[in-house]
Structure 1
Amino acid sequence: MLGLLNGRLCGLVTLIVMLSACGNGDSMESFGGPTMGSTYSIKYVRRAGLPAPADVRVEVEKILTEIDRQMSTYRSDSDISRFNDLPANRCQKMPASILKLIRVGEQLSEQSEGSYDLTVEPLLNLWGFGPQGREEKVPAEQALAQARQRVGYQHLRIEGDQLCKDAAVEVDFNSIAAGYAVDTIAARLEALGIHDYLAEATGELKAAGKKLDGSPWYIALEEPRDDQQVAERIVAVDGLGLSTSGDYRNYFEQDGRRYSHTFDARAGAPITHALASVTVIHPSALMADGLSTLLLILGPERGWDYAEKHDIGAFFVIRADTGFVTRTSHAFERVTGGKTK
Structure 2
Amino acid sequence: MISRVSKWLAPLGLAFLLAACQPAATERPQLQLTGDTMGTYYSVKIVGADEAQAQALQAEIDRRLERVNDQMSTYREDSELSRFNRYRGRDPIRVSADTAKVVTASLQLGRLSDGALDVTVGPLVNLWGFGPDARPVRIPSDEQLAQTRSRIGLGHLEVTVDAEGEYLQKTLPELYVDLSAIAKGFGVDVVSEYLAEEGLTDHLVEIGGEVRVSGLNAKGQPWRIAVEKPAPGSGSVQQVIALGNNSVATSGDYRNYYELDGERLSHSIDPATGKPITHRLASVTVVHPSCMIADGLATALTVMGTDKALAFAEQHRLAIYLLTKTEEGFRVDMSSAFKKYLRG
TM category, shorter: over 0.9
**Does the Cα contact within 8 Å between 1:241 and 1:285 map onto a contact in 2?**
yes
Runs of 5+ unmatched residues, structure 1: none
Moved more, 317-326 or 38-47: 38-47
Tell me which residue corresponds to 1:287: 293
- Give distance in 1, aligned partners of 2:266 and 2:213: 30
- Give distance in 2, aligned partners of 1:104 and 1:308: 21
Moved more, 133-142 or 99-108: 133-142
- Give distance in 1, aligned partners of 2:34 and 2:222: 21
Tell me which residue corresponds to 1:38: 40
Compute the TM-score of the two structures, normalised by the length of structure 1: 0.92
Moved more, 122-131 or 283-292: 122-131
User: For 1:272-328, what per-residue CA distance to the aligned partner results, in whole angstroms no more than 9, with x for missing partners?
Assistant: 111000000011111111111111010101111101100000000001011111101
Alignment partner of 1:306 is 2:307: no
Tell me which residue corresponds to 1:231: 237
Tell me which residue corresponds to 1:155: 156
- Give distance in 2, aligned partners of 1:224 and 1:47: 34
- Give distance in 2, aligned partners of 1:189 and 1:31: 12
- Give distance in 2, aligned partners of 1:47 and 1:245: 32
| CA displacement at 1:216 relative to structure 2 | 2.3
User: For 1:150-173, what per-residue CA distance to the aligned partner results, in whole angstroms no more than 9, with x for missing partners?
Assistant: 110100112322111011210001
Compute the TM-score of the two structures, normalised by the length of structure 2: 0.92
- Give distance in 2, aligned partners of 1:42 and 1:279: 21
Alignment partner of 1:135 is 2:135: yes
Q: How does 1:1-341 map to 2 (within 5 A)?
A: 1=2, 3-6=6-9, 8-15=11-18, 26-47=28-49, 52-131=53-132, 133-136=133-136, 138-160=139-161, 161-167=166-172, 168-334=174-340, 336=341, 339-341=342-344
Residues 1:54 and 1:16: Cα distance change in structure 2 (over 3 Å): farther
- Give distance in 2, aligned partners of 1:202 and 1:127: 24
- Give distance in 1, aligned partners of 2:239 and 2:116: 29
Q: How many residues align?
A: 334
User: What letter corresponds to residue 284 of structure 1 in structure 2?
Assistant: S
What is the percent sequence identity of the aligned residues?
36
User: What letter corresponds to residue 159 of structure 2 in structure 1?
Assistant: I
CA RMSD in angstroms comes to 2.1
| CA displacement at 1:92 relative to structure 2 | 1.2
**Does the Cα contact within 8 Å between 2:26 and 2:219 map onto a contact in 1?**
no
**Does the Cα contact within 8 Å between 2:120 and 2:178 map onto a contact in 1?**
yes
SS in 2 for 1:52: helix
Deviating beyond 3 angstroms after TM superposition, the runs of 4 or more aligned structure 1 residues are none
**Does the Cα contact within 8 Å between 1:84 and 1:169 map onto a contact in 2?**
yes
**Does the Cα contact within 8 Å between 2:45 and 2:205 map onto a contact in 1?**
yes
User: For 1:5-26, what per-residue CA distance to the aligned partner results, in whole angstroms no more than 9, with x for missing partners?
Assistant: 24652414232659xxx978x4
